[in-house]
Amino acid sequence: MSERRGCAALRFHRSSQRYRSSRDDQAPLRLRIREIAAVRVRYGYPRIHILLRREGWAVNRKRVYRLYRLEGMSLRCKRPRRHVTAARRLEREVATMLIATEI
């Protein structure tokens, strides 16, 4: 069966059938993002984007974010400052009841 008749039978556009993506391979960029994130643990995607631009990569922030999330990376949410001391606090001693005797 010809391409034209097959696409007509399926109600599928021939231009969609013949489409070839023009996007270049993202593997080198993904590898570089992983390397930067391994060395700079506390850097999120905005800071990684800045470092990539300084190295000469022509990428925008949205692409860096997409690849960053595809790699399964994200920064942990920082606890609010008011909980920092509470997190390090030692366990409290169990209160013992004092029995007051009347004289």
DSSP per-residue codes, 28-67: HHHHHHHHHHHHSTT--HHHHHHHHHHHT----HHHHHHH
Instruction: Say if residues 65 and 45 touch (Cβ distance below 8 Å).
Output: yes
Task: Check residue 85 and give its pLDDT.
Answer: 55
Task: Check residue 68 and give its pLDDT.
Answer: 92
Rounded to whole angstroms, how far apart are CA atoms 85 and 68?
Answer: 32
pLDDT tens digits, 51-100:
999 999 999 999 999 999 998 888 877 666 665 555 555 566 777 777 66
